[in-house]
């Protein structure tokens, strides 16, 4: 006879239902996504596809729940949904490397996105919430090169000398966490005038702004909006 039990899951905020059958029958665990308002199965393939969907739809709370469950099931093979005996489980369903227990979900996301353990480790070590920038410019440049850092450019007022005041905002792809705000006047020849990590009028100067070249890339020296709500 099949029995059903419930466990409260801190990641999803609602009971996880477990249906048990005798012998080698499947054990199916389900995770409730509060923002999507639906249950999902906890096998690795489902978690992977739901992870990208939640990230694209900017459901941060669901994303955190999914990543927590991915971390848990990566070191808990019996939690992988099985369609039969263990030898029939596809190799794709079994994580090849355990997911580290990072303190910040963005670090976990970088690891799961295949950006490498080094980038994920560095982010988890460096990140300081509300700092401007939240991680070092060196790491931001490496994240940009990996395709993980997005930039929003806003044209401010034109100065009397003809330079254009610009503000650049930074985020990790799929997240709304503030990574920093950099201000500069682009003068003739694409030279950076009075650059600095600023919020409003307060912030630290970056004397020449040269460390930002790697981060801004094609945006360096350009006074142009990236578009309303557009991150490039």
Please state, in angstroms and rounded to a whole number, the distance separating the CA atoms of residues 205 and 182: 10
* Confidence (pLDDT) at 200: 79
Cβ atoms within 10 Å of 39's Cβ, excluding its own: 15
Name the β-bridge partners of 167: 154, 183
Is 70:99 a contact under the CB 8 Å cutoff?
yes
Residue by residue, pLDDT tens for the chain (232 residues) are 444 444 444 344 444 444 444 454 445 568 889 898 998 888 878 888 888 888 888 888 888 888 877 766 554 443 333 333 333 434 444 445 678 889 999 999 999 888 889 999 999 999 999 999 999 999 999 999 999 999 999 998 765 655 688 999 999 998 999 999 999 999 888 889 989 999 877 888 888 899 999 999 999 999 999 888 899 9
C-alpha to C-alpha distance for 74 and 42, rounded to whole angstroms: 11
| Strand 149-158 versus strand 38-41 pairing type | unpaired
Would you state the torsion angle of the CA atoms of residues 61, 101, 115, 91, taken in this order, to the nearest 10 degrees? -100
Helix (H), strand (E) at residue 112: helix 105-112
Q: Which residue in 20, 67, 19 sits closest to 44, CA to CA? A: 67
Buried b (16+ CB within 10 A) or exposed e, 195-214: bbbbeeeebeebeebeebee
What pLDDT sits at residue 5?
41
Give the pTM.
Answer: 0.63
- Residues near 114 by beta carbon (within 8 Å), at least 6 away in sequence: none
Q: Three-class SS of residue 79?
A: helix
The residues with which 150 forms a beta bridge, in sequence order, are 171
């Amino acid at each position: 006879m099949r029995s059903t039990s419930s466990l409260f899951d801190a990641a999803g905020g609602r009971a996880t239902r477990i249906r048990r059958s005798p012998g080698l029958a499947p054990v199916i665990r389900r995770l409730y996504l509060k923002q999507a308002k639906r249950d999902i199965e906890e096998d690795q393939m489902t978690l992977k596809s739901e992870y990208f969907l939640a990230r694209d739809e900017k459901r941060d709370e669901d994303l955190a729940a999914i990543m927590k469950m991915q971390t848990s099931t990566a070191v808990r093979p019996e939690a992988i949904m099985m369609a039969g005996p263990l030898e029939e489980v596809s190799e794709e369903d079994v994580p090849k490397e355990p997911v580290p227990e990072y303190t910040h979900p963005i670090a976990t996301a970088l690891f799961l996105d295949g950006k490498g353990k080094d980038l994920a480790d560095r982010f988890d070590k460096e990140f300081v919430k509300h700092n401007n920038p939240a991680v070092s410019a060196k790491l931001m440049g490496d994240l940009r090169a990996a395709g993980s850092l997005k930039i929003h450019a806003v044209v401010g007022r034109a100065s009397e000398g003809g330079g254009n005041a610009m503000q650049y905002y930074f985020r990790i792809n799929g997240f709304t966490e503030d990574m920093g705000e950099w201000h500069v006047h682009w003068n003739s020849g694409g030279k950076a005038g009075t650059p600095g990590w600023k919020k409003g009028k307060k912030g630290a100067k970056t004397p020449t702004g040269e460390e930002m070249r790697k981060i801004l890339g094609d945006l360096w020296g350009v006074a142009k909006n990236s578009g309303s709500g557009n991150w490039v």
